[in-house]
Amino acid sequence: MDIIDKQARSRMMGRIRGKDTKPEMAVRRVAHRLGFRFRLHRRDLPGSPDLVFPGRRKVVFVHGCYWHRHAGCRMAYDPKSNVEFWAKKFASNVARDENVLAELKGRGWDTMIIWECEAKDPELVASRLSAYLGRADDR
């Protein structure tokens, strides 16, 4: 049983953002500081990737550990109430993520996921982006 009434829970869930989240903004700042230029949330691509590097045909998704089930992460805990609903919800999120990555790959795009917990470490994000994208002045 949930300790919060349905209206309060609905308000709380409604405030969860899909774009411009703190982890996404942190990754964007690091990418820009490294000299990379990108497009945001291209709706013509499957999954509307968070950062799109069109000249390199590469995309970056910034996934929340809880919603996208980052394996082994303490932030990907299971709720204690409404267990069946959440198990189904998380399974559909993961399946959708897999489908999006496969479709992007089929269209010739390379993909990378940066997890919410990783986004808290700017040096880690910088090294991962540099390894994935190469040098900023290369095209």
- Per residue in 42-70, pLDDT (tens digit) is 999 999 999 999 999 999 999 999 999 99
Q: Is the pLDDT of residue 139 over 70?
A: no
User: What's the pLDDT band for 2 if we cut at 50, 70, 90?
Assistant: low
For residue 47, the model assigns a pLDDT of 96
pTM: 0.86
Question: Can you tell me the distance from the alpha carbon of 101 to that of 68, in angstroms, rounded to the nearest whole number?
Answer: 13
Classify domain 18-133 at the CATH superfamily level. VSR Endonuclease (3.40.960.10)
Question: Can you tell me the distance from the alpha carbon of 60 to that of 41, in angstroms, rounded to the nearest whole number?
Answer: 10
Write b or e for each residue in 33-70: b if 16 or more Cβ atoms lie within 10 A of its Cβ, otherwise e.
eeebebeeebeebbbbbbbbbeebebbbbbbbbbbbbb
User: What's the pLDDT band for 28 if we cut at 50, 70, 90?
Assistant: very high
Identity of residue 58 = K
User: What's the pLDDT band for 7 if we cut at 50, 70, 90?
Assistant: confident
